[in-house]
Amino acid sequence: MSFSLRQLQIFEMVAEEGSFSRAAEKLFLTQPAVSIQIKRIEEAVSLPLFDRLGKQALLTQAGQELLLHSRVIHQQIDEAKRMLADLHDLKHGSITLTMAATANYFAPQIIAGFHKLFPDARITLEVANRAGLIIALEENRADMVIMGRPPDGLAVDMAAFCENPLVVIASPSHALATQRNISLERLAQESFIMREAASGTRIAAQRFFDLHGLQPNIAMEMNRTEAIKQAVMAELGVGIVSLHTLDMELQLRRLVVLDVVEFPIMRHWYLVHRSGKRLAGMPQAFKSFVLEQAGDLLSLPQWQQDRYE
């Protein structure tokens, strides 16, 4: 069984137009030439692809199946052409990124630095929760995903590009705000405002407390870091968030980082994509840029650095 890409193109046009004559007009061919190519495909597959009803050409079941596969083939060819074009010309390539909401606090700095090198790069950016990040990887929707904890059970390539410390935050008026070397046992007595159970931050915090044989008192769950910070400022409890999200609040003294034994929980930010995925020129350039220069572009809030070095 064999047929050419040109024959598939003719087949798709007949399927879309529902007519041999209209397909011939669109392709600048004669109707007999179109009929001959369709007949050759039908001979190759040993099945009829169209039912002819007067001037109409309606797809048979075999025709419908072939149309699905033909479209996939042409999509893959188009993708290959775009990839080769990007490899040839890095000036006008495109990148599709999906990132965790917390990464939104530092990703613009990385993108700004990249744009200085590649000002014509087209970047599409989507922010998602952990479930959305995993779907983006499973369905190969993005060139790369920026996330805090790569998924288990999914074949991915991952590369860490900067540290992501998780710290305990409280209102400046909190009873623990001025204490030093707070024990985990004492901390566990506080009311916690935490991310939802499926988030990377929540999973890391839960594993940390499990490791130390403690069960935090979770008073509230919220699906956004900003909501947690606002609740902590309102003195509803303490929270655990990425230090990258706190620059403004720490400078303005709206929040403080508690000095807790065994904290911060040290994690990393990762660039992740499906294993075996071949990155086009611009995505590969972005990946190289992030791995080589993100560490210089990103920094923890200045007054905290000495404590965590």
**What's the CATH code of the domain at 62?**
1.10.10.10
Higher pLDDT, 72 or 273: 273
Based on the fold, state whether residues 146 and 289 are members of the same structural domain.
yes
Using one digit for the tens of pLDDT, what is the confidence trace for 174-231?
999 999 999 999 999 999 999 998 888 999 999 999 999 999 999 999 989 999 999 9
Based on the fold, state whether residues 122 and 181 are members of the same structural domain.
no
Q: What is the pLDDT of residue 198?
A: 85
- Please state, in angstroms and rounded to a whole number, the distance separating the CA atoms of residues 115 and 98: 18
Looking at the structure of the chain, the number of domains it has is 3
Based on the fold, state whether residues 103 and 84 are members of the same structural domain.
no
Q: Is the pLDDT of residue 303 over 50?
A: no
What is the band of 307 on the pLDDT scale with cuts at 50, 70, 90?
A: very low
Using one digit for the tens of pLDDT, what is the confidence trace for 17-73?
999 999 999 999 999 999 999 999 998 889 999 998 888 999 999 999 999 988 888
* C-alpha neighbours within 13 Å on the C-beta side of residue 299: 8
Strands (E), the chain: 50-53, 56-59, 94-100, 122-128, 144-147, 156-170, 191-195, 217-222, 238-242, 256-257, 265-274
Check whether the bond before 48 is cis (ω within 30° of 0).
Answer: no
Based on the fold, state whether residues 82 and 99 are members of the same structural domain.
no
Q: What is the pLDDT of residue 302?
A: 59
Instruction: Tell me the CA distances in angstroms from 302 to 205, 239, 250, 305, 308, one per residue in order.
Output: 24, 21, 10, 6, 11
| Phi/psi of residue 198, nearest 5 degrees | -85, -5
Using one digit for the tens of pLDDT, what is the confidence trace for 114-163?
999 888 888 999 999 888 999 999 888 899 999 988 888 889 999 999 88
Based on the fold, state whether residues 157 and 279 are members of the same structural domain.
yes
Strands (E), 171-222: 191-195, 217-222
Using one digit for the tens of pLDDT, what is the confidence trace for 223-253?
899 999 999 999 999 999 999 899 889 989 9
What is the band of 255 on the pLDDT scale with cuts at 50, 70, 90?
A: very high
Based on the fold, state whether residues 277 and 151 are members of the same structural domain.
yes
Q: What is the pLDDT of residue 165?
A: 92
Strand, coil or helix: 301 = coil
Which one of 63, 88, 113 terminates a domain? 88
Longest CA pairwise span in the chain (Å): 88
Domain at 262, CATH number: 3.40.190.10
Using one digit for the tens of pLDDT, what is the confidence trace for 203-218?
999 999 999 999 999 9
Based on the fold, state whether residues 253 and 290 are members of the same structural domain.
no
Based on the fold, state whether residues 56 and 96 are members of the same structural domain.
no
Whole-model pTM: value is 0.65
Based on the fold, state whether residues 157 and 299 are members of the same structural domain.
yes
Based on the fold, state whether residues 131 and 200 are members of the same structural domain.
no
> Residue 304 corresponds to which amino acid?
Q
Instruction: Tell me the CA distances in angstroms from 115 to 87, 110, 122, 127, 279, one per residue in order.
Output: 18, 9, 9, 19, 18
Q: What is the pLDDT of residue 175?
A: 94
Based on the fold, state whether residues 151 and 287 are members of the same structural domain.
yes
Domain range for residue 69? 5-88
Q: What is the pLDDT of residue 276?
A: 83
Q: Is the pLDDT of residue 89 over 60?
A: no
Based on the fold, state whether residues 218 and 145 are members of the same structural domain.
no
Place of tokens 């303490």: 238
Q: What is the pLDDT of residue 110?
A: 92
